[in-house]
Structure 1
């Protein structure tokens, strides 16, 4: 885990893409769950942030 976090600080594409994809997936799960209105409310911003992050990260060096 510490190795993963250390590599995130170096702005390499694979780790940031995985983090952005996880954020998008989290937003979609938050959107589909029926239990909490608060999670549903924040699902769109989480998905949007993940999508924008993925677009930006796709320009990082390999």
Structure 2
């Protein structure tokens, strides 16, 4: 049984491509920005009520994603 040099390289699927730091940090930053916009808008009390939870979720997500592989 011979080993080919290219056989050890795994083909990266869509999930492997999406579970990288760059795209996930962008999503987390967008969630944080949405939470801040929800906090500052004067139109909907429901959006204002959920703004802290949204910002907190984005912040926790960003903290966790910063530990994901490059």
TM-score past 0.5 threshold: yes
TM-score range with shorter-chain normalisation?
Answer: 0.7 to 0.9
Question: Taking structure 1 as the reference length, what is the TM-score of the superposition?
Answer: 0.85
- Which aligned segments of 4 or more residues in structure 1 are displaced greater than 6 angstroms? none
Structure 2: gaps of 5 or more residues: 1-13
> Which has more helix, going by share of residues?
1
Structure possessing the higher radius of gyration over alpha carbons: 2
CA RMSD of aligned residues (A): 0.7
Greater RCO (CA < 8 Å, at least 6 residues apart): 1
Count of residues in correspondence between the two structures: 55
Structure 1: gaps of 5 or more residues: 1-5
